[in-house]
Amino acid sequence: MVDETAIDHDIYLFHQGNLRYSYQLLGAHVVTVDGKPGVRFMVWAPNAEQVSVVGIFNKWDGRQHQMEKLNVNGLWCVFIPELEKGTIYKYEVLTAHGHLQLKADPYAFSSELRPATASVVYSLDGYVWQDDQWMKRREGMNLYESPMSIYELHLGSWKNIEEEIFYNYRDYAEMVIPYVKDLGYTHIELLPLTEHPFDRSWGYQATGYYAVTARYGTPDDFRYFVDQCHEHSIGVILDWVPGHFCKDQHGLRRFDGEALYEYANPKKAEKTQWGTLTFDFARNEVQSFLISNAIYWLKEFHLDGLRVDAVASMLYLDFGKEDGEWELNEYGGRENLEAVDFIKRLNEAIYEEVPNVLMMAEESTSWPLVSAPTYIGGLGFNYKWNMGWMNDMLRYMEMEPVHRKYHHNLITFSLHYAYSENFVLPISHDEVVHGKKSLLNKMPGDYWQKFANLRAFLAYMYAHPGKKLLFMGGEFGQFHEWKDMDELDWELLDYDSHRAILNFMKQLHQLYRDMPALWELDHDQEGFFWIDPHNFEQSILSFVRNSRSTNDQLVVVCNFTPEVYHGYKVGVPKSGTYKEIFTSDAVHFGGSGQSNGLTLKAITEPWQGQDQHIEMTIPPLAVSFLKCTSKVKGEDYER
C-alpha cells in the first residue's frame, strides 16, 4: 500500500530542497495500489499546462493517461495499473505556450540504448549484494592513512567488441578486475556512466542522471560489476557531473517549456565553451534532485566515492566566458554563491547519509579549503585533484633533459603547498587526448629514453605525497594518445619494452602498498622532508618519506638526466646500513642496470644537512628507493 502521509511529507521536503532520497518519490515505481499492481509515475513540471505518460502501451497517445497536478509547485502524478518493469515510456508535456514536447524521465533508473531516447521502468529491488565484508571493512577504514592508487577507466575503450559495440558490465567484471588486481591498484575510477546521447562526450554531457547507461547493460549488471570489485578488495569511484547538462531535446533543457533545471538567466545558464547548461543551484527542487542523485549512486550501487567533475566551472560565474558573457554576484564578486552553498550542503548530506566515502573535487584553481570541513569554512570534500602538480610535472617531463635544470622549480614547487589540501596526484584521460599525446609519447629522447623517462616520472609520482591516479594505457606505455572510439593497443604487450613497464607498474604498486612511508602521512608535514632539493645543475633531488614508525623511513633519490654518477654523496638521516630496495633502472624493467647491488654503509660525516651520508651510484633517468635496515623487508622486490 502507498503511505499517503509519508508521500506528503516527502513532497514538502522536496520543495524545501531537503529531500535526500527524492528518487524514491519521483520517477516510475512498480507499486500496488488498492490491490492492483502497476506503476506510479511522478514528475516535477510546474510550468506545464498538462503532463501525460505515453508509450507503446497506449500507442503514444497523451489523451490516454493524463497526470494529476498534486500541488501549485508542479508535481504531477498518475498510477497506471498492469504496467510492469521493462515498460518504455516518456512524458508528454503541454507547455504554457501550447507546444507538445516529449521528455525522458529525469528520475528514470533505466533508458533505451542510444540513439533511442525513451525511459524504461526498472525496479531497484531484487539484487542480492555479496559485499557485506567489504562494506563492513569500509566503515572502519582510515581514508587518509591508507594506500590509494586509482586506475581511471573508460569501459567502452578499454576493450570493445567493435567500434560502438561494447561488452556487458558483467563481461567487463571478468576482464577488468583480474587485470587491475594483478597490477595492485586499490581503486577503479570510471568515467561517467549516467545515460548520455553522444558516445564522444564520454558521459560528461548527460540526459539521464539516475539511469546507468544502457551501452553496457542494466543497473543490476552494473551492480554485479561493483560487487565483484568489492569481492576482490577493489574500491569503485564514479565520475559525477553536477556542473552542467546537455541540451538534447529529450533531456532536462526547458523541461516544461521554461527554464527549470537550468538558470533562467542565460548568462548564468550557458556554459559556452562546452555548449551545455548550468543547473540552477538556487532552486530547492534542483538541490533535492542533485543531492539525491549523489546519494543514489553511493547507496544503490555501493560505490565507494564520487569524483566531482569541473568544480571550478560551478564556483566561478566567469568560468570559460568572455567579458559581457557573465555578471557579478550581488556583492560584486565573480563567485557563484549559490553553487558554493550547494556544494557545502551536498558534502554535508553525503557524510551524514553515507559515511566514510570519497568525495573528490576536480578543482583547477586556488580556491582555498576545498578538502576542508564546512564547519571551518571549507567546501567539504575530502580530496582534491592536484592539477598544479600535474601541469608542472608534465611540462617538466616533456622538456629535453638538457633544459630541465633551468626549470628545476617545476618539480619542487608542489611541496610548498602539498599539505594545504588532501591531494590526489592525477594523470587522467584529459592529459592524453585532443593532440596532447600519450604519456609515453610526451617523453623526450630516443626509444629507450622515452621508457626511462616514463618510469622515472611514475616512480617520482608514487614517492611524492598524495594519493595516485593513472589513466588506462599509461601502465603499459600506450604510444598513441587515447582513441576514445577504439580499444587500447593491447598488441603492444607483445613487445618487451611494454611488458617490462607493465611489470614495473606491478612492482611499483607492491612497493607502494607494502611501505607505509609512501602513504601513511600523505597529509602530514611530518611525512616528508627534503635532503637536497637544490641540485638543479644535475637535475637530481633527494628526500625522505616517513611513516608513523621510524623503521619504515625511506630515502628517495631522483635523477632526471641520462647521466650516470658513481660515488655520489647523499645525506641520510640515520646511521647504519642502507639498501636499495627498488630502482626504476632495473634491467628487467628495461633499464640500464646501474643499481646499487651491495649495501651502502652510512659514513659519519655531515652532508646536505644530515649528520651522515652514503656514496651511491645514481642511475640515468631513474628513481631509487633506499631503506636503512639490517634486514630489508623489501628483499622480495625485483630490483
User: pLDDT digit string (tens) for 377-398?
Assistant: 999 999 999 999 999 999 999 9
* Same domain as 337, residue 235: yes
- Put residue 254 in one of left, alpha, beta given phi > 0 → left and psi -120 to 50 → alpha: left
State how far the Cα of 395 lies from the Cα of 404, in Å rounded to an integer.
10
* Same domain as 545, residue 478: no
User: What length is written for the chain?
Assistant: 639
Please compute the mean of the pLDDT values over residues 532-559 and round it to a whole number: 95
Q: Which residue has the higher pLDDT, 598 or 344?
A: 344
> Does 636 score more than 80 pLDDT?
no
> Does 373 score more than 70 pLDDT?
yes
Please identify, among 518, 550, 570, the residue that sits at the C-terminal boundary of a domain.
518
Please identify, among 518, 533, 554, the residue that sits at the C-terminal boundary of a domain.
518
- Could you give the percent of the chain with pLDDT greater than 90? 95
Q: How confident is the model at residue 550 (pLDDT cuts 50, 70, 90)?
A: confident
pTM: 0.96
* Same domain as 389, residue 293: yes
CATH number of 460's domain: 3.20.20.80
Q: How confident is the model at residue 280 (pLDDT cuts 50, 70, 90)?
A: very high
* Same domain as 535, residue 507: no
What was the pLDDT predicted at 6? 73
Please identify, among 500, 518, 536, the residue that sits at the C-terminal boundary of a domain.
518
Q: How many helices (H) and strands (E) does the chain have?
A: 15, 29
Say how many Å lie between the first and final Cα of the chain, rounded: 66
Average of per-residue pLDDT values in the chain: 96
What was the pLDDT predicted at 227? 98
* Same domain as 369, residue 230: yes
**What domain range includes position 76?**
4-120
Q: Which residues, in sequence order, are CB contacts of 179 under 8 Å at separation 6+?
A: none
Query: Is residue 265 domain-resident?
Result: no
C-alpha cell at 108: 528514470
- Cβ-contact 596, 546 below 8 angstroms: no
Please compute the mean of the pLDDT values over residues 250-267 and round it to a whole number: 97
Q: Which residue has the higher pLDDT, 201 or 631?
A: 201
CA angle 387, 388, 390 (to 5 degrees): 65
Please compute the mean of the pLDDT values over residues 222-243 and round it to a whole number: 98
Please compute the mean of the pLDDT values over residues 436-443 and round it to a whole number: 98
* Same domain as 556, residue 495: no
> Does 457 score more than 80 pLDDT?
yes
* Same domain as 390, residue 538: no
- Cβ-contact 313, 319 below 8 angstroms: yes
- Cβ-contact 164, 213 below 8 angstroms: no
Please compute the mean of the pLDDT values over residues 556-560 and round it to a whole number: 98
Q: Cell numbers 558490465 correspond to what residue?
A: 169
State how far the Cα of 558 lies from the Cα of 454, in Å rounded to an integer.
13
* pLDDT digit string, tens, across residues 302-356: 999 999 999 999 999 999 999 999 999 999 999 999 999 999 999 999 999 999 9
Phi, psi of 429 (to 5 degrees): -60, -30
Please compute the mean of the pLDDT values over residues 490-494 and round it to a whole number: 98
Q: How many domains does the chain have?
A: 3
C-alpha cell at 559: 635523477
Beta bridge partners of 600: 578
What was the pLDDT predicted at 638? 47
> Does 635 score more than 80 pLDDT?
no
* Same domain as 316, residue 183: yes
* Same domain as 156, residue 26: no
- Cβ-contact 295, 20 below 8 angstroms: yes
Q: Cell numbers 651491495 correspond to what residue?
A: 598
* Same domain as 56, residue 151: no
C-alpha cell at 36: 492492483
Please compute the mean of the pLDDT values over residues 468-491 and round it to a whole number: 97
Peptide bond into 426 cis (omega under 30): no
* Same domain as 175, residue 66: no
* Same domain as 175, residue 204: yes
* pLDDT digit string, tens, across residues 149-203: 999 999 999 999 988 899 999 999 999 999 999 999 999 999 999 999 999 999 9
What was the pLDDT predicted at 357? 98
Cα–Cα distance list, 369 to 323, 366, 374, 377, 420 (Å): 28, 9, 9, 7, 8
> Does 634 score more than 70 pLDDT?
no
Q: Which residue has the higher pLDDT, 374 or 631?
A: 374
Please compute the mean of the pLDDT values over residues 265-280 and round it to a whole number: 96
> Does 632 score more than 60 pLDDT?
no
The catalytic site residues sit at 309, 362
C-alpha cell at 153: 577507466
* pLDDT digit string, tens, across residues 67-87: 999 998 999 999 999 999 999
Q: How confident is the model at residue 30 (pLDDT cuts 50, 70, 90)?
A: very high
- Could you give the percent of the chain with pLDDT greater than 70? 98
C-alpha cell at 220: 543490476
